[in-house]
């Protein structure tokens, strides 16, 4: 068995937790109900299982190569991208007016998970194109939108995000790439960008780079950064390709994982094109507002990277289950079988598999609930509904990105462990997920950057109001749990309540101390993020538990529903139970984080 998309679990989350029926009431999404979702996910599953999943391991062994500025991608990638594009997957979530399918993010996020489970390295190309399209949709001129977006959605062209420079990673204030206006509305760009995912490749005719740079008279810091379109090949007004622009791929990186995705060093303005020195660029929106636009693109990308965490966790989980069912070793400790048994019969193997399963399902539920909030925030006719959902979604982005990717490290590591010695042998494939996952808490903003966002803009700025509103909704779920008398509901109630109370204590600490004791608050920023992500994912598991209990009692899909109850209870007892300890380390442990002076290390 290779990868099988968890379509049933996705549909459960979408229907029962994310409220897909409500999303389908939003104007424009009328056709995006459960039936559509089922059809799209089935087709997505088929395509990815058949076309992309089989290329994943081969791409790791035999990743792309660089030669004199050109990158040849891994075997099969070019052909697969053609199929991917022709089937319309790139346009899934984008407006129909530019050739997209205009589906809600609630469905798009699930498709994103499937794509990334099948092939994380491949999926990065459409992920970055999505981000570039988002930025153009928000800040591009009508002409720019018409010129670039349709060809990006059709897969003829792809997009990139050019932020990082050697001295400017998390801190974009340090960006030095220059953009000099030419008087004709164009700019000449020069500088070096690093870590550019799919910055060069052979899968599409053209690459539309979105590049952060400074104009000559721009102010210092983040308020002097502008955003530019820099196509690899210049584009005529009719969309046909012109001269090779002055952007050159100097090398690609030798990485721990996601090896089949070329990570480029791009040099702008070294006179290596056909346009003379300086890459020709076109301003997006207004000068000096580049960071603001880039954040739009980054927010989309951050959510998508969170989904990558869920995706690689799901794939690692499936592989571990398969191995645990096949590998025969040792008699069960309870003597229930007379001889050596498949290792899934051993309690510790089950503990590992349940941990992997519970974390993955919890994060999936959280991401899909967040996606539905995005849809409502952007498309609901009622402004108040839009506003509430926007606030909720914004709070969720650092959790989906930070918590789901950190949990993917735990899950992929357990995946190796379930395989024992075979997990360390590359041919087995479990190690690839462990390596691939390791980038996820780093790119598109490290977990610490997500945590800064959670602490600063999402919690302290409104005095913890949005956070407390979420806590109040969790308390409602607790009240519903309290009216049930199953062991699972009781266990969930106990752990959810303890975790929610811990969360509120931490929110009070963060909102109350940020000005007087910033170091104390930021010493606990990542633990706060982990606590909040753990809680919110657990909250969704609690909601799932109640739905599943009711459906099982009604005889609906009993095996699946009972498994959901068991998994939710496991989450409560083994994952939510971590929360009070994290709270203690945040509230009581902040002094010791910075007690040792930098010089003393």
Of 444, 476, 478, 501, the active-site residue reads: 444
DSSP 536: H
The two three-digit tokens of residue 452, written as one number: 């800064």
Q: State the Cα–Cα distance between residues 42 and 6, nearest whole angstrom.
A: 10
| Nearest residue to 92 via CA among 129, 142, 145 | 129
Q: Which is nearer to a copy of itself, 245 or 447 (CB)?
A: 447
Name which position in 8, 351, 387, 457 contacts a copy of itself (CB under 8 A). 351
What is the footprint of a copy of itself within residues 259-318 (CB under 8 A)?
A: none
Q: Which is nearer to a copy of itself, 69 or 420 (CB)?
A: 420
Residues whose CB falls within 8 Å of the CB of residue 139, separated by 6 or more in sequence, listed in order: 227, 284, 285, 289, 293, 296
Q: Which is nearer to a copy of itself, 61 or 243 (CB)?
A: 61
The b/e string for 257-284 (b: 16+ C-beta within 10 A; e otherwise) is bbbbbbbbbbbbbbebbebeebbbbbbb
Residues whose CB falls within 8 Å of the CB of residue 189, separated by 6 or more in sequence, listed in order: 177, 178, 179, 211, 213, 228, 230, 247, 268, 269, 278, 279, 280, 281
Q: State the Cα–Cα distance between residues 191 and 213, nearest whole angstrom.
A: 8
Q: State the Cα–Cα distance between residues 311 and 317, nearest whole angstrom.
A: 10
Coil, strand or helix at 93: coil
In the complex, minimum distance from the CB of residue 256 to a copy of itself, in angstroms, rounded to a whole number: 4
In the complex, minimum distance from the CB of residue 439 to a copy of itself, in angstroms, rounded to a whole number: 5
Q: Which is nearer to a copy of itself, 60 or 246 (CB)?
A: 60
Q: State the Cα–Cα distance between residues 80 and 429, nearest whole angstrom.
A: 21
Q: Which is nearer to a copy of itself, 4 or 96 (CB)?
A: 4
Q: Which is nearer to a copy of itself, 350 or 468 (CB)?
A: 350
Cα Rg of the chain (Å, integer): 24
Residue with tokens 């994982």: 257
Name the one range near a copy of itself by CB under 8 A: 75-83, 199-207, 240-248, 253-261.
253-261
What is the footprint of a copy of itself within residues 525-544 (CB under 8 A)?
A: 525-527
What is the footprint of a copy of itself within residues 357-396 (CB under 8 A)?
A: 357
- On whether the CB atoms of residues 230 and 93 are closer than 8 A, the answer is no
Name which position in 270, 462, 557, 573 contacts a copy of itself (CB under 8 A). 573
Whether 444 is catalytic is yes
The b/e string for 156-185 (b: 16+ C-beta within 10 A; e otherwise) is ebbbbbbbbbeebeeebeebebbbbeeeee
In the complex, minimum distance from the CB of residue 494 to a copy of itself, in angstroms, rounded to a whole number: 8
If one asks whether residue 15 binds a copy of itself (CB under 8 A), the answer comes out as: no
If one asks whether residue 562 binds a copy of itself (CB under 8 A), the answer comes out as: yes
In the complex, minimum distance from the CB of residue 514 to a copy of itself, in angstroms, rounded to a whole number: 9
The two three-digit tokens of residue 590, written as one number: 């902040």
Q: Phi, psi at residue 207, to the nearest 5°? A: -125, 125
Name which position in 114, 175, 316, 349 contacts a copy of itself (CB under 8 A). 349
- On whether the CB atoms of residues 48 and 117 are closer than 8 A, the answer is yes
If one asks whether residue 326 binds a copy of itself (CB under 8 A), the answer comes out as: no
If one asks whether residue 458 binds a copy of itself (CB under 8 A), the answer comes out as: no
In the complex, minimum distance from the CB of residue 370 to a copy of itself, in angstroms, rounded to a whole number: 23
If one asks whether residue 547 binds a copy of itself (CB under 8 A), the answer comes out as: no
In the complex, minimum distance from the CB of residue 92 to a copy of itself, in angstroms, rounded to a whole number: 28
The two three-digit tokens of residue 490, written as one number: 């009781």
Q: Phi, psi at residue 339, to the nearest 5°? A: -140, 180
Name which position in 34, 340, 553, 554 contacts a copy of itself (CB under 8 A). 340
What is the footprint of a copy of itself within residues 481-510 (CB under 8 A)?
A: 487, 491
Name the one range near a copy of itself by CB under 8 A: 5-13, 247-255, 294-302, 304-312.
247-255
Q: Which is nearer to a copy of itself, 256 or 482 (CB)?
A: 256
Q: Which is nearer to a copy of itself, 443 or 509 (CB)?
A: 443
What is the footprint of a copy of itself within residues 161-220 (CB under 8 A)?
A: 164, 167, 169-171, 173-174, 194-195
Name the one range near a copy of itself by CB under 8 A: 32-40, 70-78, 276-284, 586-594.
586-594
If one asks whether residue 441 binds a copy of itself (CB under 8 A), the answer comes out as: yes
Beta bridge partners of 463: none
- On whether the CB atoms of residues 210 and 160 are closer than 8 A, the answer is yes
If one asks whether residue 569 binds a copy of itself (CB under 8 A), the answer comes out as: yes
| Residues with catalytic roles | 444
């Amino acid at each position: 068995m290779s990868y099988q998309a968890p379509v049933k679990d996705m549909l459960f989350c979408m229907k029962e937790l994310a409220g897909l029926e409500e999303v389908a009431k939003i104007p424009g999404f009328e056709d995006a109900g459960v039936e559509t979702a089922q059809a799209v996910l089935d087709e997505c599953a088929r395509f990815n299982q058949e076309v992309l999943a089989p290329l994943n391991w081969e791409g790791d062994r035999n990743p792309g190569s660089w030669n004199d500025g050109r990158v040849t991608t891994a075997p099969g990638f070019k052909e697969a991208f053609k199929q991917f594009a022709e089937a319309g997957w790139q346009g899934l979530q984008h407006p129909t007016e530019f050739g997209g399918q205009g589906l809600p993010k609630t469905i798009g996020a699930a498709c994103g998970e499937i794509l990334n489970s099948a092939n994380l390295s491949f999926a990065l190309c459409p992920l970055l194109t999505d981000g570039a399209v988002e930025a153009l949709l928000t800040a591009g001129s009508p002409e720019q939108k018409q010129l670039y977006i349709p060809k990006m959605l059709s897969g003829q062209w792809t997009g990139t995000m050019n932020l990082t420079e050697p001295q400017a990673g998390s801190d974009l204030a340090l960006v030095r790439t220059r953009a000099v206006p030419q008087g004709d509305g164009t700019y000449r760009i020069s500088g070096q960008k690093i870590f550019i995912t799919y910055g060069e490749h052979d899968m599409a005719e053209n690459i539309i780079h979105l590049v952060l740079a400074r104009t000559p008279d721009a102010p210092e810091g983040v308020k002097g950064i502008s955003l530019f379109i820099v196509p690899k090949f210049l584009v005529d007004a009719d969309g046909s390709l012109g001269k090779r622009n002055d952007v050159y791929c100097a090398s690609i990186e030798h990485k721990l994982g996601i090896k089949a995705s070329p990570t480029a060093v791009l040099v702008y303005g070294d006179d290596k094109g056909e346009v003379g020195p300086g890459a020709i660029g076109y301003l997006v929106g207004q000068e000096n507002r580049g960071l603001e636009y880039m954040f739009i693109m980054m927010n989309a990308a951050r959510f998508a990277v969170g989904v990558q965490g869920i995706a690689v966790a799901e794939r690692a989980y499936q592989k571990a289950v398969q191995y645990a069912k096949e590998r025969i070793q040792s008699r069960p400790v309870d003597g229930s079988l007379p001889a050596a048994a498949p290792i899934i019969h051993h309690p510790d193997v089950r503990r590992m598999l349940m941990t992997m399963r519970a974390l993955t399902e919890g994060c999936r539920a959280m991401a899909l609930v967040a996606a539905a909030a995005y849809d409502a925030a952007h498309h609901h006719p009622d402004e108040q509904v839009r506003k509430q959902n926007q606030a909720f979604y914004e709070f969720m982005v650092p959790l989906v990105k930070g918590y789901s990717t950190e949990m993917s490290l735990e899950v992929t590591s357990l995946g190796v462990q379930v395989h024992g010695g075979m997990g360390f042998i590359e041919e087995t494939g479990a190690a690839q997920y462990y390596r691939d996952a390791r980038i996820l808490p780093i790119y598109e903003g490290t977990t610490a950057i997500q945590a800064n966002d959670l602490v600063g803009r999402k919690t302290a700025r409104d005095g913890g109001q949005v956070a407390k509103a979420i806590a109040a909704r969790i308390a409602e779920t607790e009240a519903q749990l309290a009216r049930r008398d199953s062991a699972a509901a009781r266990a969930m109630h106990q752990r959810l309540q303890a975790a929610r109370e811990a969360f509120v204590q931490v929110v009070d600490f963060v909102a109350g101390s940020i000005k007087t004791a910033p170091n104390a608050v930021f010493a606990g920023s990542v633990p706060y993020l982990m606590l909040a992500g753990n809680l919110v994912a657990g909250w969704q598991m609690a909601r799932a538990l109640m739905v599943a209990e009711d459906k099982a009692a009604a005889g609906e899909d009993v095996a699946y529903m009972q498994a959901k109850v068991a998994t939710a209870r496991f989450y409560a007892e083994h994952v939510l139970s971590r929360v009070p300890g994290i709270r203690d380390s945040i509230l009581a442990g902040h002094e010791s984080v910075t007690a040792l002076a930098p010089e003393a290390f």
